[in-house]
Every structure is written in C-alpha cells, then in structure tokens.
C-alpha cells in the first residue's frame, strides 16, 4: 500500500516572492555548493542519497573541490564526529544528536538532511503537546466521516513521507515529547514499516530512509527515552566549542551571516565585544575564570554559543539603529544580562557576584561594568 495521492489538505501554497524568505532552507541557500559537490562527486552513493558520504562530510565541514570551488563550513567541530554521524545514516541505525542547548544539533541535522536527501523540511518538532499522529499519520476528518477510511482521507506525517521517498526525516527535541509518543518510533526504526490498521496495510520504507533526532537533557521538562527506543539510535554527543578562539570564530561568522539575512545596517568589525561576550559566557558556564583563580556561581541557563550569537546580533541592531554605528560595550550589556538572568533570584546573585568579583577590576572592561550596573 502506497497512499501518496492525498489532497485532503488542499493545495500547497507556492513559494513566496523573491526576497521575502527570512531564512531559506539549507538546500535553497547552499544550492550552488550542493550542485558543485554533486558534479565533482564520483564516489559510491547509498540508495537514494544525492551525495556520497565523503561528499556530505565535505559539504558540512567545508573544503576545496578539485576544480577550485570553495565549500563554506556549515559546522565547526571535530571531523570524526561528523563522519560517525554520516556513516550511521548510511546504515539501518537512526542518528541521535545529543548535547546541551546551543551545540548546533538542529543546524547540523538540517544540513545533513539537505545534503543527503535534498530536502530538510520533513520535520517533526517535539513539544509536550506533540501527539502520536504527528509521528505516524492523521486523518482529514471531513473526508473520513463522508467516505470512511481511505487513502484520500489519510494525512501523512513527515516520517510517513520520508519512508515513501527514501529520505531523511528529522525529529527535533525528541525528549520533549511524552514517553508514549516517543515509542511510536520503535516499530518504524526497527521494522522499517509503519502499520496502517485502518486500511489493513502498511507503509514500507524505501532504501535511503532514516531518522535524525536531536535531544538534550539539560533543560527542564524533558522525558527520558525508553531503553527500547534508545537502542534504535546511534548517539553522537555534540560538545561545546573546545576553546575560546573556536567559539569566537563561530560567533563572528554566524553574526555576519545573520546580519546579512536580516539586512541589518553594517557596523564596523567588533572583535573585542564578541570576545567579551564569549568570555563572559564561558566563564559563567564553567564556574571559574579563564585563569582558574576565581570560582563562580553557575547560572541556571545554558549560556550557549547560540545565545552568544543572539546577544551580539541584538547588539549590532542596537548600535546600527540607536547608536553611533559602532558595536560597544553598552550595546551587548543588555543582551548579556537578559541571557544570564533567567531565574530572578538565583541568577541575579550569580551575576552580581561575577560583576563585582571579576568584571569590576578587569583591565579594559570599565565601560562594560558601568553599562551592566545601570541595568
């Protein structure tokens, strides 16, 4: 049974007008790079894959093709971790990207799906309200009542469609879903089939189908995976950037990319302020200053690289629209305070102690200290 010709949801809207898309999908934004890699890729490809595993890794980590085409890095991290992730997707094991918030799990999963299947949109977003139907299939109830169970009345989930196409499906924040909903994936991942008892049939996965899930166990409100489901995944743990130079580089690049996408007015390079934000985040989340001389209270938030990017981007907007066009300490101070102080009681104490014990006497940080004290 292959229920593919459903039009129950009505016509699919066409693409928005040129220039209207705020954030293009990876396969759209990097279409030229993907095409160049595909043209140069003469290695064996698994069933339904657009690129070979080697080419997928090259797309994700960047490199130079034989014809001189430069491929930009999409993820900065250990090459071996990406190789393990790609190799996993070439087997019958699903991939679980695990890490604290802000370690680029979603970013990496999107680019892997784009490179392998040419489509990163087969996505299920996990929340406490995610229902089992969003992982399996639902029904157009008007047609169901009028005609009874039928292929035309069935509404396939992203995972259902990925099985039919032999594509990669993505499940974001898997541990946000209730445990009984998570376990709807067990049969899909182990048997590579999705039973449809209402139609006395099933959907069998086409070669190339697999699932990339992301999860973290740091935030509140997560549900542990059952042992049965965890066994179906190969887990790759994504770490935070190894050193400050790597993290500063990531923040600088992503801020520039986001500024261009959002069409923010350009501001002069602000390496000093970016390094200041990254330094604050690294010290607070580690519980000690860089030199190890001062122990610090650790705030409740994750203070991830993604949050550092957000703080600097917000500072750029402030400097461009309401300042003198140069990113300064006052522009990033408000964003930092908002990122650090999530819990008004515990985090406020940790932040004030950090200001007084570390920032106040640090050379060149006087303006930043004064700006933070005023907030």
Domain boundary among 175, 210, 237: 237
Predicted pLDDT of residue 7: 41
The answer as to whether 18 is a domain residue is no
Nearest Cα to 213, choosing from 227, 225, 203? 225
Does residue 125 share a domain with residue 49?
yes
How many structural domains comprise the chain?
A: 2
**CATH code, domain with 91:** 3.40.50.300
The answer as to whether 108 is a domain residue is yes
pTM, rounded to two decimals: 0.88
Give the SS3 label for residue 288.
strand
Q: b/e string for 172-203 if b means 16 or more Cβ within 10 A?
A: bbbbbbeeebbbbbeebbeebebebeebeeeb
The answer as to whether 10 is a domain residue is no
Predicted pLDDT of residue 6: 44
The answer as to whether 16 is a domain residue is no
Spatial contact of 336 and 311, defined as CB atoms under 8 Å apart: yes
Predicted pLDDT of residue 10: 46
What kind and span of H or E run contains 276? Answer: helix 271-286
Q: 108: which residues sit within 8 A by CB, 6+ positions away? A: 60, 74, 75, 82, 85, 97, 238
* Ramachandran sector of residue 63 (left: φ over 0; alpha: ψ -120 to 50; beta: rest): left
Does residue 219 share a domain with residue 251?
no
- What is the Cα–Cα distance from 375 to 365, expressed in whole angstroms? 16
- What is the Cα–Cα distance from 163 to 248, expressed in whole angstroms? 40
The answer as to whether 359 is a domain residue is yes
Does residue 147 share a domain with residue 288?
no
Does residue 137 share a domain with residue 103?
yes
- What is the Cα–Cα distance from 273 to 278, expressed in whole angstroms? 9
Does residue 65 share a domain with residue 179?
yes
Domain boundary among 184, 216, 237: 237
Strands 210-215, 94-98: parallel, antiparallel or unpaired by DSSP? parallel
The answer as to whether 249 is a domain residue is yes
Domain that holds residue 158: 26-237
- What is the Cα–Cα distance from 78 to 308, expressed in whole angstroms? 21
SS3 letters across 122-163: CEEECCCCCCHHHCCEEECHHHHHHHCCCCCCEEECHHHHHH
Does residue 200 share a domain with residue 286?
no
- What is the Cα–Cα distance from 99 to 317, expressed in whole angstroms? 29
Does residue 168 share a domain with residue 66?
yes
Does residue 189 share a domain with residue 40?
yes
Domain boundary among 209, 237, 265: 237
Q: b/e string for 293-328 if b means 16 or more Cβ within 10 A?
A: eeebebbebbbbbbbbbbbbbbbbbbbbeebeeebb
Predicted pLDDT of residue 17: 52
Does residue 33 share a domain with residue 123?
yes
Does residue 169 share a domain with residue 71?
yes
Positive or negative torsion for Cα 140, 161, 189, 174: negative
What kind and span of H or E run contains 94? Answer: strand 94-98
Predicted pLDDT of residue 269: 63
Does residue 196 share a domain with residue 254?
no
* pLDDT by 10s per residue, the chain, length 375: 554 444 444 455 555 554 567 889 999 999 999 999 999 999 999 999 999 999 999 999 999 999 999 999 999 889 999 999 999 999 999 999 999 888 899 999 999 999 999 999 999 999 999 999 999 999 999 999 998 999 999 999 999 999 999 999 999 999 999 998 999 999 999 999 999 999 999 999 999 999 999 998 776 667 888 999 999 999 999 998 889 999 999 999 889 888 888 888 877 768 899 999 999 999 999 999 999 999 999 998 889 899 999 999 999 999 989 988 889 999 999 899 999 998 888 899 999 999 999 999 999 999 999 999 988
The answer as to whether 56 is a domain residue is yes
Does residue 256 share a domain with residue 125?
no
| Torsion angle defined by CA atoms of residues 97, 101, 107 and 110, in that order, rounded to the nearest 10 degrees | 50
């Amino acid at each position: 049974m292959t229920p593919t010709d459903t039009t129950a949801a009505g016509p699919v809207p066409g693409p928005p007008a040129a220039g209207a898309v705020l954030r293009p999908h990876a396969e759209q934004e990097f279409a030229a790079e993907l095409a160049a890699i595909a043209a140069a890729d003469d290695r064996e490809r698994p069933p339904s894959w657009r690129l070979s595993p080697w080419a997928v890794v090259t797309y994700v980590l960047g490199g130079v093709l034989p014809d001189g085409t430069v491929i930009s890095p999409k993820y900065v991290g250990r090459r071996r971790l990406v190789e393990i992730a790609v190799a996993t997707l070439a087997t019958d094991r699903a991939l679980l990207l695990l890490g604290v918030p802000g370690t680029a799990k979603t970013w990496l999963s999107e680019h892997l799906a784009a490179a392998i299947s040419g489509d990163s949109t087969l996505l299920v977003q996990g929340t406490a309200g995610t229902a089992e139907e969003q992982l399996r299939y639902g029904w157009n109830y008007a047609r169901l009542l009028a005609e009874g169970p039928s292929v035309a009345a069935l509404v396939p989930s992203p995972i259902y469609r990925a099985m039919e196409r032999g594509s990669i499906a993505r499940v974001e924040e898997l541990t946000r879903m209730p445990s009984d909903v998570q376990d709807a994936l067990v049969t899909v991942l182990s048997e590579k089939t999705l039973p449809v008892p209402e139609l006395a049939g099933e959907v069998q996965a086409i070669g190339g189908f697999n699932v990339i899930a992301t999860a973290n166990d740091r935030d509140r409100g997560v549900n542990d995976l059952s042992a049965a489901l965890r066994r179906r995944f190969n887990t790759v743990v994504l770490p935070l950037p190894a050193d400050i130079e790597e993290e500063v580089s990531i923040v600088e690049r992503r801020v520039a990319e986001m500024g261009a996408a959002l069409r923010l007015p350009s501001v002069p390079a602000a390496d000093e302020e970016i390094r200041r934000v990254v330094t604050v985040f690294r010290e607070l989340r580690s519980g000690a200053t860089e030199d190890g001389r001062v122990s610090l209270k650790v705030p409740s938030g994750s203070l991830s690289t993604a949050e550092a990017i957000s703080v600097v981007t917000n500072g750029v907007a402030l400097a461009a629209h309401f300042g003198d066009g140069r990113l300064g300490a006052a522009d990033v101070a408000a964003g930092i305070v908002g990122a650090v102080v999530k819990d008004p009681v515990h985090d406020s104490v940790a932040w004030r102690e950090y200001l007084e014990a570390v920032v106040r006497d640090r050379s060149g940080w006087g303006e930043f200290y004064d700006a933070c004290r005023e907030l």
